[in-house]
Amino acid sequence: MFIDRMNEGNPVTKVGLYESTNPCGEQPLLPYESCNLGSLNLTKMVRAVVDFNSPHELSRYEIDWEKLDRTVRLSVHFLDNVIEANRYPLPDIDYQTKQNRKIGLGVMGWADLLVLLGIPYNSQEALDLAETVMARINNIGHDESQRLGETRGVFPNWEKSSYYRNGTGAKMRNSTVTTIAPTGSISIISGCSSGIEPFFAVSYIRTVMDKTKLIEVNPYFERVAKVRGFYSQELMGKIAQTSSIASFSEIPDDVKRVFVTSHDISPEWHVRMQVAFQKYTDNAVSKTINMPNSATTEDVRTAYMLAYKLGCKGITIYRDGSRAEQVLSTGAAAQNEAAAIGSSLTVKDRPEVLEGVTQKIKTGYGNLYVTVNSIDGKPFEVFAQIGKSGYSTMADTEAICRLISLALRSGVPVDKVVEQLRGIGGASPVFGNGGLISSIPDAIAQVLHKHFGNGRKIERGLDLSVEFCPDCASRIEHEGGCIICRSCGYSKC
């Protein structure tokens, strides 16, 4: 967060200065203010210039500027209404939100729009269009807020704002109007690309409830592939295993250029796209600057300085593979380890009677009762019971315990089990028993370590930079401070 840049765009510095933002970084707020954001789906802001219904033709599109203008005005009006209609959890939040009446209208579906217009994401044409589109949204949005200010009244702190100018300035209803949010969840619901991010991939493997794996292809890419004659299920399956189509000789070069993905785009292009939108955005822009695993400290420094120099208010860097331990692993080392375990695997039979210990431990889902039975001082099986948490949580807990028990009965050292489970992040971390309990697996790991570990201290900490989805184990995307799974819809912002 570039706090000086944030406050340069603060319209009410006489009221207070920004100290922080919301978690995704796009909305600087004063104490007790609240986010009130909305995003336009840009894929709905186009019209077909030449509309071909034939499966052998591709339609051509252009931006419907009149529809965009109408939608911006409606959205600003709607977001202003939300301020009044909302029920706030604290009186202070109610008061401060209504003092400055901040709203943040942004966009999603930007990558989709570029594809519809045939423009590569990492091109000067895309940067120019980004400025044109966001300038239009910002100008129309401010005009609508000023219209509301004339009819409904200005925001209470207007006379302390940069708009005032001795009473002759724009009579704004809202102190800020535009924001670019990550749209992690709503873009999945809307079926469009998130925020202003490029495509993370154009083909995915989705695991459905009966564990069937389905190949899901970006609809625009699928349409092009069929019309251009290079579509096949086999090719889509191969693409789903990667995050880029750059190496596929079956795909024409012009298609590769338009369907560029986040890992094909250099950090500088990522930054420049953020800059283009920030130029005409009141608040800030949520965007991830993707970097390869080979990125150096100097590469990160360069991105930070470029973003600051060109006017960004903050920047999110994500270096691929930066999590030290991954749920899934690939490569020769992982294969050798799996082969070694598999060659010596013997599952011990369970005796009729075992002795054990049961410990109660606090989790974000309620109290968890963990029972560990042992043989000759070594853990042999694990059971856990958690009440009033829902059938899914109970089922997941039982599944974890069965797998732990299978590992222990197969001779896997308890420290290896603890190492795999400890620190797994969940949706409801809590502090208890002298430390942070991140999830149910983490809680079980603490019990195992306490009673059967080798005495080494487990470093506690909540790691949100996961590489694979906690719900379906598919790979996840890091976009604008969000963690998103396109396979099952999981999102954490």
Active site residues: 22, 24, 26
3-state secondary structure the chain: CCHHHHHHCCCCCCCCCCCEECCCCCCEECCCCCCCEEEEEHHHCEEEEECCCCCCCCCEEEECHHHHHHHHHHHHHHHHHHHHHCCCCCHHHHHHHHHHCCCEEEEECHHHHHHHHCCCCCCHHHHHHHHHHHHHHHHHHHHHHHHHHHHHCCCCCHHHCCCCCCCCCCCCCCCCCECECCCCCHHHHHCCCCCCCCECCCEEEEECCCCCEEEEECHHHHHHHHHHCCCCHHHHHHHHCCCCCCCCCCCCHHHHHHCCECCCCCHHHHHHHHHHHHCCCCCCECCEEEECCCCCHHHHHHHHHHHHHCCCCCCEEEECCCCCCCCCCCCHHHHHHHHHHHHCCCCCCCCCCCEEEEEEEEECCEEEEEEEEEECCEEEEEEEEECCCCHHHHHHHHHHHHHHHHHHHCCCCHHHHHHHHCCCCCCCCEEECCEEECCHHHHHHHHHHHHHCCCCCCCCCCCCCCCECCCCCCECEEECCEEECCCCCCEEC
CB 80 within 8 A of CB 13: no
CA dihedral 232, 233, 238, 241 (to 10 degrees): 140
Q: How many CB atoms lie within 10 A of CB 463?
A: 12
